[in-house]
Structure 1
Amino acid sequence: MADNDMWQSTNGNTGRAGSNRGGNAGAPIYGSGATRNAEGTSGTTLFDRVPPHDVDAEMAVLGGMLMSKDAIGEVSQVLETADFYQPQHQTIYDAILTLFAGSQPVDVVLVANELMKDGNLDKVGGADYLHSLVASVPTAANAMYYADIVHQNAVLRNVITAGTKIAQMGYSASGAQAEDIVNLAQSEVYEMSAGKVRQDYVAIGPVLQNTLDQLDKMQNHELEQGVPTGFRDIDEVTQGLQPGQMIVVAGRPAMGKSTLGIDFARSAALHHNMTSIVFSLEMSKVELAQRIIAAETNIPLAAMRRAEDITPDRWNTLNNFWTKMQDAPLFIDDSPNMSLMEIRAKCRRLKQTNDLKLVVIDYLQLMSSGKRVESRQQEVSEFSRALKLLAKELEVPVVALSQLNRGPEMRNDKKPQLSDLRESGSIEQDADVVFLVHRPDFYNKEDRPGEADIIMAKHRNGPTDTFNLAFLGATSKFMDMPQDYQQAGV
């Protein structure tokens, strides 16, 4: 075997001799003075121990990939370059993937040539080491088994890294930062458990290729759309609520913003089986459930609050609705004084356990930070920015309901504008989409009764528009207007 001193592992061994299955000799015992490990060796700290890895498994994976193109395709779906512990194995893996991505054949000679181009062949141990990788496995059939071992060890190393970061943050923080540290710790654990790696910069070429691939899939109706809102024209313009977007639904009190937010959640969870959660800081679970039942069954909301109005026919309708919807993936949380940290933690957990697809928060100005701030405007700005980051982290649309100031009342037409967003201009900046709810008959009962304008005042990735919907206050929902409907005077 060629000299391999260029790539020594942390325990001073190289190649197969450096194999370490687990690297966990036992839990450390902490006390005053020197730290001792489970064997009682004085002066060895937790951080001096060799991280979990298995060099034999890494060699077997690479050997299988050098023997079989099918193995390359399978393993590349499971392993990242950083999953390999040995640096020379990372370099060899990258060379194999480079050839594979270029639709070129892969074998020892071609990989050696690829490594030589970049001046890495001698660093990985030369062609002799590549031959030893092939010799380390009798068949490529077990490549995925070895890949799983490599991946599991990488996960354990990520656990150690996350734990080390959390410990360092805890030691360096002051008491006033405790809540922020808890959130950062949760974020570290979520990223690690979700198998995410912080992305580095990337070349434009692959990004353009992915963009064109998405466009091609859209034309062929192969690309999964966003979360359907349930409204024909809105979905036509937005292609649904998109992952990573922050969507603001704003309006004056009693205008119907909560109703629209619940309509979005109903469409996603009850009609498209997409896991959704509504954080209600204004209404109780029972009130929310009553609105959902009224909207789905067309039983007036007022009747839901008067037992004598529930006729036998309505009971049958309610029972049928219950049978149909009892397992729907819709979650409701009406915890009082909910902090942003609680919302983030619950969303992360639901993403892991139920593949969360939509978050609705009713409403932004009722959220609490749980700490002293200079101004309410600064606090709401922090909420807005944090919700946008949450949407990107979980890759789900986050719908934040928001109050408007009294600006619309000061205008003759009473129509809301972006500048009316209450307490923070940063809401407008952070939002990808802003819907402003306007009902003319709220101000004048004779002005287009039963109609509502949903004004898309901001659309980061497309045109703005105004959508004409019907507002059914009795059953607490919005509905599409007939396609041939014409507004009076239009």
Structure 2
Amino acid sequence: MAVVDDRWQDAPPREPGESRPFERQPPQDLAAEQSVLGGMLLSKDAIADVVETLTTADFYKPAHALVFDTILGLYAGGEPADVVTVAAELDRSGSLGRAGGSVYLHTLTSAVPTAANASFYAQIVAEKAVLRRLVEAGTRIVQLGYGGNEGQVGGGEVDEIVDRAQAEIYEVTERRTTEDYVVLEELLQPTMDEIDAIASRGGQSAGVPTGFADLDALTNGFHPGQMIIVAARPGVGKSTLALDIARNASVKHKMATCIFSLEMSKTEITMRLLSAEAQIRLAHMRAGTMSEQDWQRIVRRMSEISDAPLFIDDSPNMTMMEIRAKARRLKQRNDLKMIVLDYLQLMTSGKKVESRQQEVSEFSRQMKLLAKELEVPVIAISQLNRGPEQRTDKRPMLSDLRESGSLEQDADMVILVNRPDAWESDDPRAGEADLIIAKHRNGPTTTISVAHQLHYSRFTDLAQQ
């Protein structure tokens, strides 16, 4: 039976000029916009205050956006930005008429009560801009919800539509409204500033530090937008290594980190963290045979551990969409700095796919997009296939990544974990492990040797054994 929405069928015809609720004027405050620009034209200090709050896209009136952009151009070039210079610059570019003319610029300065309140006026303009983006996002979400056939706006799986709707709201709250493209000239100075900052720190980690000296020296830490694969055969210690990196970031450096675990429970992860931090044998914890000294070591470390901004989610059967939604909330509320996913082969999309390889390829692409969207490094733990076990040389290779070649293509870095004593217990290098950097998009590939202390559920630098 067809359902027809006839709520408007009997509505009276509209009078000329009458608008329905859907045709209302977008949120804006032209007086506040005028006051912001007037304050900027009167005071150089006001410009410095306003640029921290507003961008060109925040102005509702195009003429105001044009004037704002011109003021910023003069300010950035070290030139004075007043009515005369701004009018001259607009005239030179042929935009003075579109900005309202010289008379309108004088009107802006006379309309502002005082330049000292420019930052307050800027906040009003910014809030109206957020509301406009919210209206725009709401319109797009309505279109998604009403989307019909495959290929139309809103077409596709319901979960995908919900995910896109969440992304729309996230972009509003993050105020990420800049253009997708940036001319190279605008990228040079920020890049030079970053290089200078690294040099001023003596080359110390600019990203999220891993806790391993040689690895940090090679990578300069894990950086926003990177996807890092940590892979090994079962029982070698891939999850332990990832937990070590998460523990170092959250406990030692107070960087908010989230572990999405599809393998271990929250209690098991916490137990491993306590074992590594307090240097208590994990087996003694599990067996309930801890000594009095063990308990004292835990108490001494408890204060620092409890203050760590580490979040653990062990929800079963998590989909990538759920992980993205949770990660967005953590980014907004807790300034998330890193995500660990343990582990890739346990994930499921919850929908029919042609092959498992295709499904893992989709996970890989979504993880890379998540890293770029939230501007955090994402560490994805993965299993290797049986290739190393079938070779004389047991060292893993990039081609051993299981189920999808997309993992090695999408990843910025692939770390393969190898323990010689996992294959031969009497190996001369027993107690050591190799972190094989099999792919490194921003640097060389190499092998870093560390010590494994799996009885404490951790890896350490060789010098710290």
Q: Secondary structure at the match of 1:399?
A: strand
Corresponding residue for residue 8 of structure 1: none
Return the alpha-carbon distance in structure 1 between the equivalents of residues 192 and 162 of structure 2. 40
Give a deviation string over 1:175-210, Cα, whole Å, max 9, x none. 851100111111111111011115332221121122
Give a deviation string over 1:344-388, Cα, whole Å, max 9, x none. 011000001110011000001111111111110000000001000
Corresponding residue for residue 207 of structure 1: 187
1:88 corresponds to 2:63 = yes
Within 5 Å, give how 1:58-457 maps onto structure 2: 58-173=33-148, 177-221=157-201, 225-307=206-288, 309-447=289-427, 448-457=429-438
Q: Post-superposition shift, 1:318?
A: 2.1
Q: Post-superposition shift, 1:310?
A: 1.7
- Is the Cα–Cα contact under 8 Å of residues 248 and 433 in structure 1 kept in the other structure? yes
Distance 1:388 1:75, change over 3 A: same
Return the alpha-carbon distance in structure 1 between the equivalents of residues 33 and 139 of structure 2. 25
Distance 1:289 1:115, change over 3 A: same
- Is the Cα–Cα contact under 8 Å of residues 34 and 43 in structure 1 kept in the other structure? no
Q: Secondary structure at the match of 2:463?
A: coil
Within 5 Å, give how 1:45-56 maps onto structure 2: 45-56=20-31
Return the alpha-carbon distance in structure 2 between the equivalents of residues 411 and 252 of structure 1. 13
Q: Post-superposition shift, 1:311?
A: 2.1
Distance 1:347 1:142, change over 3 A: same
User: Alignment identity in percent?
Assistant: 55
Q: Post-superposition shift, 1:36?
A: 8.0
- Is the Cα–Cα contact under 8 Å of residues 251 and 307 in structure 2 kept in the other structure? no
Moved more, 317-326 or 233-242: 317-326
Corresponding residue for residue 488 of structure 1: none
- Is the Cα–Cα contact under 8 Å of residues 228 and 268 in structure 1 kept in the other structure? yes
Return the alpha-carbon distance in structure 1 between the equivalents of residues 179 and 443 of structure 2. 26
Corresponding residue for residue 152 of structure 2: none
- Is the Cα–Cα contact under 8 Å of residues 205 and 217 in structure 2 kept in the other structure? no
**Alignment RMSD, CA only?**
2.1
**Which runs of at least 4 in structure 1 moved beyond 4 Å after TM superposition?**
34-37, 39-43, 173-176
Amino acid at match of 1:305: R
- Structure 1: where are the runs of 5+ without partners? 1-29, 486-490
Distance 1:231 1:173, change over 3 A: farther
Amino acid at match of 1:181: I
Distance 1:164 1:35, change over 3 A: farther
Distance 1:482 1:163, change over 3 A: same
- Is the Cα–Cα contact under 8 Å of residues 350 and 356 in structure 1 kept in the other structure? yes
Q: Post-superposition shift, 1:324?
A: 2.9
Give a deviation string over 1:256-300, Cα, whole Å, max 9, x none. 000001001000001110011111101111111111111111110
Q: Secondary structure at the match of 2:272?
A: helix
Amino acid at match of 2:243: I
Return the alpha-carbon distance in structure 2 between the equivalents of residues 128 and 185 of structure 1. 44
Q: Post-superposition shift, 1:465?
A: 1.1
Amino acid at match of 1:326: S
Q: Post-superposition shift, 1:34?
A: 5.5
- Is the Cα–Cα contact under 8 Å of residues 36 and 42 in structure 1 kept in the other structure? no
Q: Post-superposition shift, 1:31?
A: 6.8
1:460 corresponds to 2:441 = yes
Q: Post-superposition shift, 1:41?
A: 11
Distance 1:436 1:319, change over 3 A: same
Give a deviation string over 1:246-265, Cα, whole Å, max 9, x none. 00000011110000010010
Q: Secondary structure at the match of 1:282?
A: coil
Amino acid at match of 1:171: Y
- Structure 2: where are the runs of 5+ without partners? 150-154
Distance 1:384 1:127, change over 3 A: same
- Is the Cα–Cα contact under 8 Å of residues 251 and 304 in structure 2 kept in the other structure? no
Q: Secondary structure at the match of 1:146?
A: helix
Amino acid at match of 1:387: M
Distance 1:358 1:57, change over 3 A: same
Distance 1:122 1:347, change over 3 A: same
Q: Post-superposition shift, 1:35?
A: 9.9
Amino acid at match of 2:398: L
